[in-house]
Amino acid sequence: MMIEATDALREAVLTEAIAGLTSTPKTLPPWLFYDEAGSALFEKITELPEYYLTRAERSIFTERADEIVSAAGHPLTIAELGSGTASKTGLLLEAATRRQPEVLYQPIDVSPSALEQAADILPAAIPGVAVRSQIANYITNGYTIKRPDGSCILALYIGSSIGNFDPEQARAILRKLRKQLTKMGDAMLLGVDLAPSCKKTVEQLIAAYDDAAGVTAAFNKNILARLNRELGANFNLEAFRHRACWNSQESRIEMHLVSTVAQTVTIDGERIDCAPGESIHTENSYKFTERGLIELLHDSGYSSPQWFEDADHYFAVALAYPV
Ligand code: AVI
């Protein structure tokens, strides 16, 4: 069973890698970042001085969790798309348990180990919390949010995860979630990183994706290291440079790996030529204005949101209702 799963994953990695690397311009899908090494590097990123996103969102929850939770219906069950280890979610669960004695928390994620960790830690740390985990890829799989008798659902999609999808994919994710929110008092909480403004410069934004310690560069290059490990490819990591840039037209940070020399890489018998200066586009991270996010929410079946920002106005959390 385990062998089949591993074979299926290898096949998916191979198919996506060949498709992306033989297209013009070259791309690799960002889900390939998150093997064990990549997930550990991402955890390090969230602690970097330059990567303000995680701290800013956590500060919003620290200050406003009671207000956020009270704005949704009562009693509540809290669901979360792409929960990972749910490190910030505890603040919202604690607020919910101040309003009701028992709260069912329903994390949905592709990673069984992250779900296990959440299921071990949260009920022990927050009395009254029960966990119902669901292993699913919320983009490609169906998922169900259970509704205990008479409860309203607060669905979390936080951590700026929506930013890694283009507008069409983002609408599809939000519309699919909207289908589960059918009761008066149901709500959706979305965490988004804000576009540059008088409060945040483009330089600050770029630094968050190109830190001085080189952790983001290592995270980006891990995608090639993963193809070497899992597919027997022969990328020379030294011959690629990490590049993060701001695309103002699309309101997104882009991450690229730029080949510094002419080189040919072989993956599963397929030869891939890289010219000097040619880039492999590995990630987009969209940044929002309040106006842009309201438009996305309206297009996806939600109300204009209640809007919460951190003290520096770097990050926002939007609480929207299905309409
Ligand atoms: C997971 N995601 C929200 C991160 C982001 O900020 O777009 C991924 C990341 N890429 C580089 N640094 C962090």
For residue range 120-170, what is the model confidence (pLDDT) as tens digits? Answer: 999 999 999 999 999 998 998 899 999 999 999 999 999 999 999 999 999
In terms of Cα–Cα distance, which of 310, 320, 323, 319 is closest to 60?
310
Atom of ligand 1 at shortest range from CA of 285:
7
Nearest CA to ligand 1 atom 6: 285
Alpha-carbon distance of 239 to 253, in angstroms, equals 23
Alpha-carbon distance of 323 to 182, in angstroms, equals 9
Nearest CA to ligand 1 atom 5: 285
Confidence of residue 9 (pLDDT cuts 50, 70, 90): confident
Nearest CA to ligand 1 atom 1: 161
SS3 readout for 157-222: ECCCHHHHCCHHHHHHHHHHHHCCCCCCCCEEEEEEEECCCCCCCHHHHHHHCCCCCCHHHHHHHH
Atom of ligand 1 at shortest range from CA of 220:
11
Written as one letter, the residue type at 315 is F
Both tokens assigned to 154: 């607060």
User: Which residues sit with their C-beta closer than 6 Å to ligand 1?
Assistant: 45, 53, 159-161, 163-164, 209, 216, 283, 285
SS3 readout for 107-131: EEECCHHHHHHHHHHHHHHCCCEEE
Supply the pLDDT for residue 141: 87
Determine the distance separating the centroid of ligand 1 and the alpha carbon of 101, expressed in angstroms. Answer: 35
Atom of ligand 1 at shortest range from CA of 159:
3
Burial 2-27 (b: 16+ CB within 10 A, else e): eeeeeeeeeeebbeebeebbeeeebb
Q: What percentage of the chain reaches a pLDDT higher than 70?
A: 98
- Is the per-residue pLDDT at 313 higher than 70? yes
End-to-end CA distance of the chain: 43
Determine the distance separating the centroid of ligand 1 and the alpha carbon of 228, expressed in angstroms. Answer: 22
E strand residue ranges, the chain: 26-27, 76-81, 103-109, 129-131, 134-135, 152-157, 187-193, 240-247, 252-259, 263-267, 270-274, 279-286, 306-309, 315-320
The model's pLDDT over 271-289, given as tens digits with 9 standing for 90+, comes to 999 999 999 999 999 999 9
Supply the pLDDT for residue 99: 97
Confidence of residue 243 (pLDDT cuts 50, 70, 90): very high
Supply the pLDDT for residue 42: 95
- Contact assessment for residue 157 and residue 190, using Cβ atoms and an 8 Å cutoff: yes
**Cis ω for the linkage preceding 75 (within 30 of 0):** yes
- Is the per-residue pLDDT at 3 higher than 50? no
Determine the distance separating the centroid of ligand 1 and the alpha carbon of 242, expressed in angstroms. Answer: 14
Determine the distance separating the centroid of ligand 1 and the alpha carbon of 37, expressed in angstroms. Answer: 15
pTM: 0.96
Nearest CA to ligand 1 atom 10: 209
Q: Which of 33, 45, 204 to mutate to test the pocket of ligand 1 (most atoms within 8 A of CB)?
A: 45
